[in-house]
Amino acid sequence: MFYDLHLHSSLSPCADNDMTPANIAGFMALSGADIIAVTDHNSALNLPAVKKACDHYGIKLLPGIEANTSEEIHILCYLPSVEAALELGEMIYNTLPDIRAEKSIWGEQLIVDTDDKVTGTVDKLLTLASGFSVYDLKTITEKLGGMVVPAHVDRDSYSLVSVMGFLPDDLRFEALEFTDLRKYTEFKNNGIVPDGARTLTSSDAHTLEQLTRGQLAAIENDHPLMRLIDRL
């Protein structure tokens, strides 16, 4: 199965407004994706429309959220259903600081249906750190039947490694996302990631242009995420 499991829709303030559910699903279907995950910052409100668009184009949706922890670590929370993702998203949103999203500064946060019609906006700025620690979000996501993957661990900001400097022994993850998989060997040799750690690599696309670059990878049949994917 070919995947891109880190995409942003128009709900994320840093994403273009034309990253609508229909556009994302259509472009990804044309690119040959079998499964995608739209992982907006701290919210799942566009996932119902994304699910309908994916069903229309015949690709699977793995519901997700890119959560920002209280430590300013980005983690990908993958859930077994849109309903579970919406539940997690509401919990995260309720912990966000009451700072309004000024669209002239941050961009818009648009809720869009499958006809590309804007049905609402989100008031709080979604890119802020939530009130949940990385430990909290891992526990909550797993209680909802999901799985947590630290996002872009090889980046210099908003990653588990850049914030903590290492992977804590009491914080075990079944997979790690790399922006560049070539860095995995370097991280392993430096003792940053454990032997046998499974990986993901995705586009983190915020624009339609980024969707067209064809950054798809194949997920192995024994990858831990297949426990969720097989039930979709």
Q: Which residue has the tokens 């499974």?
A: 198
Distance between alpha carbon 28 and the CA centroid of its chain, in Å?
Answer: 16
pLDDT value of position 196: 78
> What digits encode the pLDDT tens for the residues 77-110?
999 999 999 999 999 999 999 999 998 888 999 9
Domain count, the chain: 1
184-192: average pLDDT: 89
CATH number for the domain including 147? 3.20.20.140
**Over 90: is that where the pLDDT of 192 sits?**
no
126 vs 175: CA distance, rounded Å: 25
Question: What range defines the domain where residue 7 resides?
Answer: 2-229
pLDDT value of position 225: 97
What is the b/e burial string over 18-48, where b = at least 16 CB atoms within 10 angstroms of the residue's CB? ebbbbbbbbbbbebebbbbbbbbbbbbbbbb
**Over 80: is that where the pLDDT of 195 sits?**
no
66, β-bridge pairs: 41, 76
